[in-house]
């Protein structure tokens, strides 16, 4: 929902913008709270108690102190449970912001999620973000089978100009190909967002909520005079 005083600005914006900005949007921790649901699953099933604040890297085997193979297996077990299928809640403010952004942005999903959960992911996006995304691409990273595609390759395949993502590695990967990146650190609560990225990179901008995303993208389309 547009804030007070912005009605005319949003209303005339789509007419003022000749071509929409092409924006790629991540899913987990940007549109939905994947990690909170995963933590609940491993706590209830295996008595492994972790909080989001412990994840200094978004590599679960390092936090869980197990092998990479064991972590991948547990994540795929998580996919078969209600913790994943019904437990991932949308990030506050995302839907309203994306509805506003759709007036001057062409929005597409670029997620590292696996092909094995493609159908459920599509259903989840339609439930919480209906009609907002033109394309939905899966990187199939950390999959038990099938080939994976780098996010930078996916983004370049449809001409994305901006990536919104919480992972510093993907941020730098795409920024090094000339894309602007909004590195999403919701309420400054994502430890993995604070390491592994050169925040002085001119194309990487840290944002802390969807209101900041909205404001930053708007400023790039209609710079303040």
Per DSSP, 179 falls in state -
The catalytically annotated residue of 28, 165, 166, 185 is: 28
The catalytically annotated residue of 26, 165, 166, 185 is: 26
Q: What is the CA radius of gyration of the chain?
A: 18
Q: How far is CA 211 from the centre of its chain?
A: 15
Nearest to 156 by CA among 177, 140, 136: 177
C-alpha distances in angstroms, 103 versus 2, 3, 17? 12, 15, 9
Catalytic-residue membership of 26: yes
Rounded CA-CA distance 41/87 in Å is 10
| Positions marked catalytic | 26, 28
């Amino acid at each position: 929902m547009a804030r007070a005083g912005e009605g005319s600005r949003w209303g005339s914006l789509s007419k003022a913008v000749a071509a929409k900005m092409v924006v790629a949007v991540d899913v987990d921790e940007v549109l939905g709270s994947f990690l909170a649901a995963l933590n609940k699953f491993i706590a209830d099933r295996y008595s492994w108690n972790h909080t989001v604040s412990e994840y200094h890297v978004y590599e679960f085997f390092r936090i869980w102190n197990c092998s990479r193979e064991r972590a991948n297996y547990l994540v795929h077990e998580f996919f078969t449970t209600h913790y994943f299928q019904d437990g991932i809640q949308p990030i506050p403010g995302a839907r309203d912001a994306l509805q506003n952004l759709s007036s001057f942005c062409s929005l597409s999903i670029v997620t590292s999620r696996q092909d094995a959960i493609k159908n459920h992911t599509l259903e989840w996006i339609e439930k919480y973000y209906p009609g907002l995304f033109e394309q939905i691409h899966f990187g199939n990273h950390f999959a038990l089978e099938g080939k994976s595609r780098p996010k930078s390759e996916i983004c370049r395949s449809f001409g994305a100009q901006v990536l919104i993502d919480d992972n510093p590695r993907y941020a730098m990967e795409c920024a090094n190909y000339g894309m602007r990146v909004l590195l999403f650190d919701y309420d400054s609560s994502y430890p993995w967002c604070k390491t592994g990225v050169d925040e002085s990179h001119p194309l990487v901008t840290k944002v802390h909520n969807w209101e900041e995303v909205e404001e930053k993208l708007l400023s790039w389309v209609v710079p303040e005079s």
